[in-house]
Amino acid sequence: MTIGYLGPCGINLPHTHPRATEINFSVDGDFIVGFYQENGAEFIMNEIHKNQVAVFPKGAIHFEQNLNCVPATFVAAFNSEDPGVLTVANAFFGSLPATVVGASLGGLNITTVDDIRSQLVPNPSIGIAECRKRCGL
C-alpha cells in the first residue's frame, strides 16, 4: 500500500504498475481518474469522491488528478509486494534513445526529442492549467 498526497489541482502523472493491479481509495478528495489498458482498448475516465475507489488493471497506464483547490489524499493498495512503477513520459522520452523516440513519433529529430526531454516534470506534477487558473494558483 501507499499513501498519495496531491496538492490543489495536482496530478499523479500517467504511469503503470507492471506487476500489480491497483485499488485506489479516495480518503478526502475528489479525483479524475483514468486508464488505458492496451492498444485498441477504450480509454476509461471517471470521477471518484471521498470514500470511493477506482481499480486500475495490472499494467494499465493510469493517472489521478485532484479536482479541488485544496490538498487531497488517496490510498493505493496493490496485489503484489513489488508492484513496480513506470512513469510513461519520463520512461519514453527520458530513457529510450532519442533516435528510437524520434522514429516512434514519425521522424522527429534528436534536437526536438532533447527539447521535449528538457520539459519533463517530476511526478506528481502541479497539474493542468485549467484547474490551476480556476483555483488561482
Reported confidence tier of residue 128, pLDDT bands at 50, 70, 90: confident
Residue 86 burial by Cβ neighbours in a 10 Å radius (0-12, 13-18, 19+): middle
Domains along the chain with CATH numbers: 2-134 (2.60.120.10)
Give the Cα separation of 6 and 60 in Å (integer): 21
pLDDT in tens, 15-66: 999 999 999 999 999 999 999 988 998 999 999 999 999 999 999 999 999 9
Q: Is 49:26 a contact under the CB 8 Å cutoff?
A: yes
Q: What is the pTM (predicted TM-score) of this model?
A: 0.90
Q: What is the DSSP string of 68-98?
A: SSS-EEEEEEESSS----EEHHHHHHHHS-H
